[in-house]
């Protein structure tokens, strides 16, 4: 079936993926007709999964019923503290059962969750708290130690609640556990409905502020709505149904609960919006890891019979390349999906051939509250350099640098996106909002092209393109060739200054354990597949995978520093 035939069948009137057009901030926008109106309604629905396990964290196993009880009781405690509609509540912690409890409790009372990057320094966290105007701050023990000296510089914060404290609490810090106990206690909490305010929340009310992963200047807070986040439930379901119809199978009548290993932080929209929302709707079981470790991941996949994992391409590479892989039973894996960073076509092929699992990919960003395009199964195997077509409620277009001329099929320009997943704008930054969000469209800063079937191909970040003597070098093209070399597991291309040409390409690579390759060998490898001007003039080798931010994007600024003082 063609994409058009699939869409016509799945979105027909009365079907699960039917969509309608509504007005969102003055812009007619296609939306999923059956998407729940608020996270509060999703939270109520989650209880129907009952005794099915929702979260597994080390020796803590939390059922959906227990989690709902924990959320409901915390929601009432927050109301009792004076937290109300529109108030910001910041949370800074690693992936813990308390993270989801706080997030759903805050959003169930019409307040705005502010998930802060747990990797940030104390100063960066202080900026996020103050910029958002958070009234309440909830942190884990590690973040508390990092932030303790910064509390006096957070005048709007009335209380600080600390879960899993590492030391006795002093000053304004209070134990979070005093509110509703530890996660293993939640099942014993009494019957309690969500506060009445939960039923008054509207789809386009603010739900969360997620900070962008900008590597220059202060990050900006993207204001997401309930509709933004909940669109992901049907976007994910549609992508799976489309994959099945494209291969000649009928999709199941209802989402099937799966067990997933999550390794991306919940403070990232991929984990919170794209991953968490769909799992809660389907009754999926989520296994948490304290930090990424390939051997630990193998053990968890084997023990919990995990169906799906992923995150960023680096994780998939490490699952493939670790020399101890054969010692573990990984046969339960059905899908390995990732986003946040481009992947090499070689990775797509190897996931399928060596794991027998279907690869999955997609494109989105903080400003789109996650998924806009989705790519799975055979479509991905056949177009491994694409991030897939947009889902039916989303629109894409390719724009020229003037921001007014729309380009045709196959032409490279800036990717613009529109749909119910596009955020309202940046928190208290009207100029940046006006520059980035135009008539419902978001200017993504990604260079891309569309083929005649609507499949999207991300070519580069506009700021990462290398221009050598007037010739454009798209880093992803060269990186994909490097990834295809059997010894390379991580690679990035950056520009090195050149007095005459402006800049030339240079590469930083990480080799797989026990593998060898020289600079000359990799240069010859690239030269065999691409034009000579695209061959890296220098190749530097590093002992570990390349530095990334929490969203999986390679920190190319740090890599460029490796070539400082070197002119090609």
* CATH code of the domain containing 61: 3.40.50.980
Give, for 61, the enclosing helix (H) or strand (E).
Answer: strand 60-63
Beta strands 60-63; 53-57: pairing state:
antiparallel
Domains identified in the chain, total number: 3
Burial of 531 (0-12, 13-18, 19+ CB in 10 A): exposed
Same domain, 120 and 245: no
Strand partners, 497: 503
Same domain, 554 and 414: no
Among positive and negative, which fits the CA dihedral 488, 493, 498, 500? positive
Q: What angle do CA 460, 466, 472 make, to 5 degrees?
A: 80
Is 126 inside a domain boundary?
Answer: yes
User: Of 436, 460, 484, which residue constitutes the final position of a domain?
Assistant: 460
Same domain, 537 and 487: yes
Quickly list DSSP for 301-370.
HHHHT--EEEESHHHHHHHHH-TTGGGS--TT--EEEE-SS---HHHHHHIIIII-PEEEEEEEEGGGTE
Same domain, 19 and 47: no
Same domain, 430 and 510: no
CA 180 to chain centre: 29
Per-residue confidence in pLDDT tens, the chain, 568 aa = 899 999 999 999 999 999 999 999 999 999 999 999 999 999 999 999 999 999 999 999 999 999 999 999 999 999 999 999 999 999 999 999 999 999 999 999 999 999 998 988 898 899 999 999 999 999 999 999 999 999 999 999 999 999 999 999 988 899 999 999 999 999 999 999 999 999 999 999 999 999 986 544 678 999 999 999 999 999 999 999 999 999 899 888 888 899 999 988 999 999 999 999 999 999 999 999 988 899 999 999 999 999 999 877 778 888 988 999 999 999 999 999 887 555 678 888 889 999 888 889 889 989 999 899 999 989 999 998 899 999 999 999 999 999 999 999 999 999 999 999 999 999 999 999 999 999 999 999 889 999 999 999 988 777 778 878 767 787 888 998 999 899 998 999 998 888 777 788 999 999 988 899 999 999 999 999 888 889 999 999 999 888 887 667 788 888 888 887 655 4
Alpha-carbon distance of 90 to 75, in angstroms, equals: 15
Alpha-carbon distance of 469 to 452, in angstroms, equals: 31
* 524 SS3 class: helix
Quickly list DSSP for 246-271.
HTT-PPPSSPPP-EEEE-S-TTSHII
User: Of 439, 460, 481, which residue constitutes the final position of a domain?
Assistant: 460
* CATH code of the domain containing 422: 3.40.50.12780
Beta carbons of 536 and 479 less than 8 angstroms apart: no
Lookup: tokens for 242:
């489309």
Same domain, 250 and 157: no
Beta carbons of 342 and 546 less than 8 angstroms apart: no
pTM: 0.86
Is 412 inside a domain boundary?
Answer: yes
Same domain, 47 and 131: yes
Same domain, 132 and 197: yes
Alpha-carbon distance of 395 to 559, in angstroms, equals: 34
Alpha-carbon distance of 113 to 162, in angstroms, equals: 16
Is 212 inside a domain boundary?
Answer: no
Q: Domain containing 487: what range?
A: 465-561
Is 206 inside a domain boundary?
Answer: no
Strand partners, 467: 472
**Phi and psi angles of residue 254, each rounded to the nearest 5 degrees, phi first:** -145, 155
Same domain, 53 and 188: yes
Same domain, 91 and 187: yes
Beta carbons of 262 and 271 less than 8 angstroms apart: yes
Q: What angle do CA 190, 192, 195 make, to 5 degrees?
A: 150
């Amino acid at each position: 079936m063609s994409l058009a035939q699939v869409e016509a069948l799945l979105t027909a009137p009365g079907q699960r993926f039917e969509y309608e057009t509504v007005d969102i901030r003055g812009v007619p926008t296609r939306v999923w007709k059956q998407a729940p109106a608020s996270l509060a309604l999703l939270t109520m629905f989650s209880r129907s999964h009952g005794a099915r396990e929702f979260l597994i964290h080390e020796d803590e196993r939390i059922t959906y019923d227990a989690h709902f009880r924990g959320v409901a009781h915390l929601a009432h405690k927050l109301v009792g503290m004076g937290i109300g509609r529109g108030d910001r509540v910041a949370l800074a912690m690693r992936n813990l059962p308390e993270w989801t409890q706080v997030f759903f409790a805050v959003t169930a009372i019409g307040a705005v969750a502010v998930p802060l990057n747990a990797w940030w320094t104390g100063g960066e966290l202080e900026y996020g708290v103050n910029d958002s105007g958070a009234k309440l701050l909830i942190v884990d023990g590690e973040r508390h130690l990092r932030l303790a000296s910064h509390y006096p510089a957070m005048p709007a914060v009335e209380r600080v609640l600390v879960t899993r404290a590492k030391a006795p609490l002093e000053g304004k810090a209070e134990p979070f556990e005093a509110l509703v106990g530890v996660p293993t206690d939640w099942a014993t909490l009494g019957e309690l409905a969500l506060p009445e305010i939960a039923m008054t929340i509207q789809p386009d009310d603010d739900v969360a502020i997620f900070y962008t992963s900008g590597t220059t200047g202060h990050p900006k807070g993207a204001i997401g709505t309930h509709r933004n986040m909940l669109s992901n439930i049907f976007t994910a379901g549609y992508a799976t149904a489309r994959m099945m119809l494209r291969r000649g199978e009928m999709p199941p009548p209802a989402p099937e609960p799966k067990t997933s290993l999550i390794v991306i932080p919940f403070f990232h929209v991929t984990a919170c919006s794209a991953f968490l929302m769909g799992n809660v709707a389907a009754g999926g079981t989520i296994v948490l890891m304290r930090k990424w470790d390939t051997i630990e991941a193998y053990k968890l996949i084997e023990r919990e019979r995990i169906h799906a994992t992923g995150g960023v391409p680096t994780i998939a590479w490490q699952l493939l390349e670790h020399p101890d892989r054969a010692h573990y039973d990984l046969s339960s894996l059905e899908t390995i999906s990732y986003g946040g960073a481009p992947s090499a076509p070689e990775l797509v092929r190897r996931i399928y051939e060596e794991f027998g699992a279907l690869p999955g990919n997609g494109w989105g960003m903080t400003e789109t509250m996650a998924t806009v395009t989705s790519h799975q199964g055979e479509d991905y195997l056949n177009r491994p350099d694409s991030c897939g077509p947009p889902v039916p409620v989303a629109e894409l277009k390719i724009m020229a640098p003037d921001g007014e001329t729309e380009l045709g099929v196959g032409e490279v320009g800036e990717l613009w996106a529109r749909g119910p997943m596009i955020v309202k704008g940046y928190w208290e930054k009207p100029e940046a909002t006006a520059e980035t969000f135009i008539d419902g469209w978001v200017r993504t800063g990604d260079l891309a092209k569309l083929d005649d079937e609507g499949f999207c191909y991300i070519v580069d970040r506009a700021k990462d393109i290398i221009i050598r003597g007037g010739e454009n070098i798209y880093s992803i093209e060269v990186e994909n060739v490097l990834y295809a070399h059997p010894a390379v597991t991580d690679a990035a291309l950056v520009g090195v200054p050149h007095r005459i040409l402006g800049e030339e390409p240079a590469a930083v690579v990480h080799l797989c354990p026990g593998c060898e390759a020289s600079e000359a060998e990799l240069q010859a490898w690239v030269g065999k597949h691409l034009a000579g001007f695209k061959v890296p003039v220098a190749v530097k080798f590093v002992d570990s995978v390349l530095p990334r931010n929490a969203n999986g994007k390679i920190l190319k600024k740090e890599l460029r520093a490796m070539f400082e003082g070197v002119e090609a």
